[in-house]
Amino acid sequence: MKIRAVMFDLGYTLWDVSYSGEVAAYAEVRQRIVEALGEGVPDTQTLRDAVAAVFLRETNEWLNKGKLEQLPTEDVFRQGFAGLGLDVPKALLREMGDSILLPGIRYTVDPETPRTLRALKERGLRLAAVSNTYQSRAALTSRLSEHGLWRYLDALVVSSEVGLTKPHPAIFQAALDELAVTAAETVFVGDIVWADVLGPQALGMKGVLTHQYRQEDPGDSRPDLVIKRLAEVVEYVDRLNGKEA
């Protein structure tokens, strides 16, 4: 069957990720909490550590216990702040994801990446990004636009909106539905074996493991392809479709 679509993970697949801006972001948020609650708000590092502990707990339950339901972003911050005795207003909690996560994360895009997406689009392929993230779809769309990637994507599906994380079938199916393609017509590219290779393969997609930014050992799994550079996906799709021809 001819390949009609390619889906990508975001972090460590379409871009490299650094959290170097978190401290400054939390400092600004602390000031907003002080304005809402008055004095007695812990220092920036204490706030950051409290929220990070909730994120870490949720990540460990995903990795070690297979929990695929995602806690709403505002609840992560609510639980973190509540552990410090802070009853932060709901309106402010709803802004926390984009107030902290958006400015706190730095993305680096290889110049080869937009060229790869353009080459795939020129072949008539439908493209999507599917990400496990606590950021909003709007925030990620903004970042993808800044880096010149959004123009090539036909769909963006995020776990923060779906409420379920990869490798749950529903998050992949949401992207398939948006692209109007079947799993058998689709290649998925990502850096985590469990989420980005085994999950897509279970639905009938081709699962490609990228080692461009992270080098996870595939172990006993059988990725359809392991790549060192994203550009290798173009040749792979050409080869698959050439065989069909």
Is it the case that residue 245 has pLDDT exceeding 90? no
Neighbours of 186 (CB within 10 A): 25
Q: Report, at the CATH architecture level, how domain 5-17+106-244 is classified.
A: 3-Layer(aba) Sandwich (3.40)
Tell me: the pLDDT tens digits for 166-192? 999 999 999 999 999 999 999 999 999
Tell me: the pLDDT tens digits for 36-56? 999 899 999 999 999 999 999
Highest mean pLDDT, choosing among 60-69, 89-98, 195-204: 195-204
Task: Report the candidate in 160, 213, 224 with the shortest Cα–Cα distance to residue 186.
Answer: 224
Rounded distance between C-alpha atoms, residue 168 and residue 54, angstroms: 21
Report the chain's mean pLDDT, rounded to a whole number. Answer: 95
pTM of the model: 0.93
Rounded distance between C-alpha atoms, residue 39 and residue 137, angstroms: 34
Rounded distance between C-alpha atoms, residue 8 and residue 14, angstroms: 7
Rounded distance between C-alpha atoms, residue 104 and residue 91, angstroms: 20
Residue with tokens 């926390």: 96
Give the pLDDT of residue 108: 96
DSSP string for residues in 71-125: PPHHHHHHHHHHTTT----HHHHHHHIIIIIHHH-EEE--THHHHHHHHHHHTT-
Confidence of residue 199 (pLDDT cuts 50, 70, 90): very high
Residue 209's contacts (CB-CB under 8 Å, 6 or more residues apart) are 190, 191, 193, 196, 197, 216, 218, 223, 225, 226, 227
Confidence of residue 97 (pLDDT cuts 50, 70, 90): confident
Residue with tokens 């085994």: 198
How large is the average pLDDT for residues 209-219? 97
More confident residue, 244 or 79: 79
